[in-house]
């Protein structure tokens, strides 16, 4: 069995156990394989092992990989986006997790206007209010979500966060919990999700089990699947 297949099974097992600990259905959590700086052959190997959803940080890298890789792959944009790159972003990604200002939402919308295509997006929230980090501040997330919802070709499915770096994954728990509470509040206002289903993209290699316990529906895992990035 390939090492990638083995690691995939382990990660799925850990997700399932974390979900069951809190009475969640493991099928409610999807793994986003974060493949930045991972060679296309390795991505292909993961695809053959059943992984369909991949996350890429860098638009150009993602565009090149998409050209040569399998049609069946679903690509999530998880990196910081520039509004002047909206056209290639829309062409490359199936879902964009990092809408963090109205300018980006409007730039994406402008590339989709007149098409029947709906682009699912997540709103990236700077849940730890860190000065150097991307993401909209929690205090003004409502305004951004309202603005994004008014873009007719965008489907605002939920929130994405990268909490402050912690040595102990337990320290991330309050941030994950705060994110879920924020999403529920926005959901109650009818601003997030589709048919009551709200996406919460949170948790990485070091803390995805805690994120699943706190309600993550998407976990973004790179290192635990592909090994250390060179
Ligand atoms: C790199 C990256 C990840 C994956 O991190 P690992 O610690 O390697 O699992 C997840 N989310 C984002 C936004 C990233 O840039």
Q: Is 134 in the pocket of ligand 1 (CB under 6 A)?
A: no
Quote the pLDDT of residue 191: 96
Q: Is 155 in the pocket of ligand 1 (CB under 6 A)?
A: no
In three-state secondary structure terms, 161 is strand
Q: Is 157 in the pocket of ligand 1 (CB under 6 A)?
A: no
First-last CA distance in the chain: 24
pLDDT (mean) for 23-33: 98
Question: Is the confidence at residue 80, as pLDDT, over 80?
Answer: yes
Residue from 57, 123, 204 to probe ligand 1 pocket by mutation (most atoms less than 8 Å from CB)? 204
Q: Is 216 in the pocket of ligand 1 (CB under 6 A)?
A: no
- Percent above pLDDT 90 for the chain: 95
Question: Is the confidence at residue 194, as pLDDT, over 90?
Answer: no
Evaluate whether 155 touches 120 at the Cβ level (below 8 Å). yes
According to DSSP, residue 15 is labeled H
Quote the pLDDT of residue 196: 81
- The contacts of residue 64 (CB under 8 Å, 6+ apart) are none
**Averaged pLDDT score across all residues of the chain:** 97
Question: Is the confidence at residue 70, as pLDDT, over 90?
Answer: no
Quote the pLDDT of residue 165: 92
H/E run at residue 121: strand 119-125
Q: Is 215 in the pocket of ligand 1 (CB under 6 A)?
A: no
- Tens of pLDDT, residue by residue over 122-171, are 999 999 999 999 999 999 999 999 999 999 999 999 999 999 998 999 99
Please give the model's pTM, rounded to 2 decimal places: 0.97
Q: Is 76 in the pocket of ligand 1 (CB under 6 A)?
A: no
Quote the pLDDT of residue 230: 65
Index of the ligand 1 atom closest to the CA of residue 225: 9
Q: Is 222 in the pocket of ligand 1 (CB under 6 A)?
A: yes
Index of the ligand 1 atom closest to the CA of residue 160: 13
- Cα(56) to centroid(ligand 1), Å: 9
Question: Is the confidence at residue 229, as pLDDT, over 90?
Answer: no
Q: Is 57 in the pocket of ligand 1 (CB under 6 A)?
A: yes
pLDDT (mean) for 11-33: 98
Question: Is the confidence at residue 187, as pLDDT, over 80?
Answer: yes
Helix axes of 141-149 and 102-112: crossing angle, nearest 10 degrees: 10
């Amino acid at each position: 069995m390939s090492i990638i297949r083995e690691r995939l099974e382990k990660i799925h097992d850990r997700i399932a156990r974390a979900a069951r600990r809190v009475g969640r259905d493991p099928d409610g959590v999807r793994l986003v394989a974060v493949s930045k700086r991972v060679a296309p052959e390795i991505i292909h190997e993961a695809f053959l092992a059943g992984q369909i959803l991949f996350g890429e940080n860098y638009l150009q890298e993602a565009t090149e990989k998409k050209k040569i890789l399998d049609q069946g792959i679903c690509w999530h944009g998880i990196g910081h986006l520039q509004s002047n790159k909206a056209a290639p972003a829309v062409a490359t990604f199936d879902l964009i997790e990092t809408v963090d200002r109205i300018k980006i939402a409007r730039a994406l919308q402008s590339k989709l206007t007149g098409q029947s295509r709906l682009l699912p997006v997540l709103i990236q929230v700077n849940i730890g209010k860190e000065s150097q980090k991307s993401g909209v501040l929690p205090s003004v997330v409502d305004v951004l979500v309202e603005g994004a919802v008014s873009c007719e070709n965008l489907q605002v499915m939920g929130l994405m966060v990268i909490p402050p770096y912690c040595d102990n994954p337990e320290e991330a728990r309050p941030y994950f919990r705060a994110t879920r509470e924020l999403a529920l509040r926005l959901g109650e206002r009818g601003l997030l999700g589709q048919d009551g289903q709200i996406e919460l993209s949170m948790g990485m290699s070091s803390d995805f089990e805690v994120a699943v316990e706190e309600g993550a529906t998407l976990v973004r895992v790179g290192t635990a699947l592909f090994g250390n990035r060179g």
